[in-house]
Chain A
Amino acid sequence: DIQMTQSPSSVSASVGDRVTITCRASQGISSWLAWYQQKPGKAPKLLIYAASSLQSGVPSRFSGSGSGTDFTLTISSLQPEDFATYYCQQANSFPRTFGGGTKVEIK
């Protein structure tokens, strides 16, 4: 299985801050990476697919980059509704695997 390692596991930030989350794959996954946002008690929401493509309806302050083994999710200016947990997921091979999550908390 491909292991997905996210860092940091949590981050405290203020509204307006730039936040960057990293995801590292244990082996190359090309650009087959998705990012999700999950709020407490809710299902995950797809933000980014194919490493850098913004899902329809997702604000442009979210962006993704990377290929191979190293990926980043950036929130350019954190908004109150962005406080949540973020997961990466590889879609290069089976089984699909998720990172452990990064919780974005209010500073």
Chain B
Amino acid sequence: EVQLVQSGAEVKKPGESLKISCKGSGYRFTDYWIGWVRQMPGKGLEWMGIIYPGDSDTRYSPSFQGQVTISADKSISTAYLQWSSLKASDTAMYYCARSASGWANWGQGTLVTVSS
């Protein structure tokens, strides 16, 4: 069974760094793109970017370029989304998804709360 399991909720202060994860199982992790999606409280979905774990080819949406870093460690079948300096406006639910079969598989989401 294909699964994407995301790391748990985080509460951080502005200016702190953070790295959240998305671990894939039940398939060859290096063969499919992993995408990240943001959903701010009460708002819609926003496409952040994607990574191909096979060669770490990474593409960012313009709104997120330079704001976050997407990476992957294929040795442990895990993709990451990280911030070097969080802002209150980064408070959101973050989802990862796998590109196979029309982005059929999604993680459960990681809630990130940034508050002083």
A binds B: no
Please give the residue numbers on chain B whose beta carbons come within 8 Å of chain A beta carbons, in ascending order.
Answer: none
A residues whose Cβ falls under 8 Å from a Cβ of B: none
